[in-house]
Amino acid sequence: MIRVGLVGCGWWAAHAHVPAIDAHPDAALVAASDPDRERLATVTAGSPQARGFATVEEMLAVSDLDVMVVASPAAFHAGAARAGLLSDVSVLVEKPFTLRASDAHELVRLATSRRLGLSVSLPYQYTAAARTLRTLLAEGTIGDLVGVHAVFESYAAPLYTGDVDEYLRRVNRPHALAPLPGTYADAAVAGGGHGQSQTSHVVSAILDATGAMPERIAAESVFVSPGMDTANAISLRLSGTAVATVFSSGGALPGLPAQQTVTYLGTAGSARHDLAGATLDWATPDGAGGHVEPGAGESDYPNGAPVSTLIDAVARVRAGHSDEQLMQLTAGAERAARAVEVIERLYREDAGRD
Ligand SMILES: NC(=O)c1ccc[n+]([C@@H]2O[C@H](COP(=O)([O-])OP(=O)(O)OC[C@H]3O[C@@H](n4cnc5c(N)ncnc54)[C@H](O)[C@@H]3O)[C@@H](O)[C@H]2O)c1
């Protein structure tokens, strides 16, 4: 049995991670930590084996964990993940991975040197469309990449002013345990607004798909209060031959569904990834091409996949197989760390001057 611990017993832990851990045949939630005792009790109510702790350090000291999920607010991700890795626990960190790229890269080095799994909870990267896109780009099916352009709209704007109820209304996701307003609206805890909460998704998706390094970064943002942005425009020079632009905004309204598309233009074809619909379409000049969409029963946003995939990889090592899958997840975290470089730069470029 893979012993899983949880750091941060909030909305997303209750909605995504705990159901996935409960559904996994080889895993059990055995420990959880949160400074808020009520939230701790609510999220662990259905997990009789789970012991509750106020801090991650207390939890790690006595729990003998194999996997730890960090789902606390962004400012606490790096410290909790480091504590887990130093206790020889494989770690899944919620997005945004960390607020500083130096922390993200240090965590990747730590996991790599200890042969541990480190993964970032980015569900858009766990669909058949995302997997096919990675293969297409790696095999050069659309030639050399020339340009990438992304539009990433979401309904998250109310979160950046602390109006959690309006956000949950817009996404039609009533939930017994709502996010705490400060998790998204307090710049000291969230590290910023839309750039941290949502643009991190699309920048990670591009860097994961292409495997590219962000070599030059320029950005402009729209701020609703100091340090709290609600829209970002990013221009990137990627390693290799390509340039990329990203427009990302939390201002979508339910009347017109949010557009979340990334288009990859190559010297011998193009591919379009619809993140919201989890589809991929591609075409080459000789008439080849294809379409990928979620199969029957597959979710277009597989939010339980990051934790179940990490549990599977840890279980394989436990069963005597090589740690290749585990280290592939850690390699993915290295690509996610490059996205932190972009988001960190975004806030340095435009720190709320309007
Ligand atoms: N991957 C996704 O699609 C997705 C979706 C939603 C949220 N998230 C991420 O999940 C994280 C949590 O978001 P949420 O919506 O569940 O917020 P939330 O406010 O509901 O939950 C955060 C919880 O962390 C607790 N906490 C605060 N400080 C802590 C600490 N030092 N140690 C442990 N726990 C602490 C709070 O008491 C709260 O219960 C954020 O990083 C957010 O960006 C990711």
pLDDT tens figures, 91-116: 999 999 999 999 999 999 999 999 99
Could you identify the atom of ligand 1 that is nearest to the CA of residue 182? 19
Whether residue 87 sits in one domain with residue 36:
yes
Whether residue 99 sits in one domain with residue 7:
yes
Whether residue 313 sits in one domain with residue 171:
no
Cα 335 from Cα 342, distance rounded (Å): 11
Per-residue pLDDT tens digits for 266-323:
999 999 999 999 999 999 999 999 999 998 889 999 999 999 999 999 999 999 999 9
Cβ atoms of 17 and 23 closer than 8 Å: no
Query: Which CATH number covers residue 57?
Result: 3.40.50.720
Whether residue 242 sits in one domain with residue 131:
yes
- What is the domain extent for residue 108? 2-123+304-325
For 16-40, give the DSSP string.
IIHHHHHH-TTEEEEEEE-S-HHHH
Q: What is the pLDDT of residue 233?
A: 97
Pocket test for ligand 1, best of 7, 9, 11, 120 (most atoms within 8 A of CB): 11
Whether residue 249 sits in one domain with residue 150:
yes
Ligand 1 pocket residue status of 182, Cβ below 6 Å: no
Per-residue pLDDT tens digits for 194-221:
999 999 999 999 999 999 999 999 999 9
Per-residue pLDDT tens digits for 161-185:
999 999 999 998 877 799 999 999 9
Whether residue 87 sits in one domain with residue 198:
no
Whether residue 281 sits in one domain with residue 309:
no
Whether residue 179 sits in one domain with residue 68:
no
Q: What is the model's pTM? A: 0.97
Q: What is the pLDDT of residue 176?
A: 79
316: tokens are: 């394989």
Would you say residue 352 has pLDDT above 90? no
Confidence of residue 133 (pLDDT cuts 50, 70, 90): very high
Q: Is residue 354 part of a domain?
A: no
Structurally, how many domains does the chain consist of?
2
Ligand 1 pocket residue status of 73, Cβ below 6 Å: yes
Whether residue 286 sits in one domain with residue 145:
yes
Q: What is the pLDDT of residue 349?
A: 74
Query: Which CATH number covers residue 344?
Result: 3.30.360.10
Q: Is residue 333 part of a domain?
A: no
Cβ atoms of 19 and 12 closer than 8 Å: no
Q: Is residue 143 part of a domain?
A: yes
Q: Is residue 272 part of a domain?
A: yes
